Amino acid sequence: MVNKSILLAWITSIIAISGSLFFSERMGFVPCTLCWYQRILMYPLVIFLGIAFYRNDKEIYKYILPISSIGVLMAAYHYALQKIPSMNEFSACTNGVPCSGQYINWFGFVTIPFLSLVAFTMITIAMVILWKRK
């Protein structure tokens, strides 16, 4: 039986890495330091979740949940740096592209870290559902 929570998390991670590659490779947006850290957390999830989906591994939440939870925290911090000007003094980006920069700002609130936050949150919720159903 196909587990919908694993499938949702896997598809979410595929869309997230596709979006990050589109923004950097096609649009030419240079990732900041926090963007790289979020990529480091997201990219392995595609492989882990793909294998878990193929094997119908309902124990995958044990490995994915810590990674996705850290991703939620990091993306939320990054989004706060962009949207709360007083947070810029606590920025992790010291050289290169500033973490407070906004390549996109759709509808006045949708930025790249916001998209990352949504993806990590969806994966985290899917893994919590998987954990609770076990």
Give the distance from CA 66 to its chain's centroid.
13
pTM of the model: 0.91
**CB-CB contact of 30 with 24 (8 Å):** yes
Q: What is the mean pLDDT of residues 26-54?
A: 94
Per the structure, the complete domain to which residue 14 belongs is given by 4-133
Q: What is the mean pLDDT of residues 57-83?
A: 95
Distance between CA atoms of 31 and 99, rounded to whole angstroms?
9
Q: Is the pLDDT of residue 36 over 70?
A: yes
Tally the domains of the chain: 1
Q: Is the pLDDT of residue 114 over 90?
A: yes
pLDDT score recorded for residue 2: 54
Q: Is the pLDDT of residue 6 over 80?
A: yes
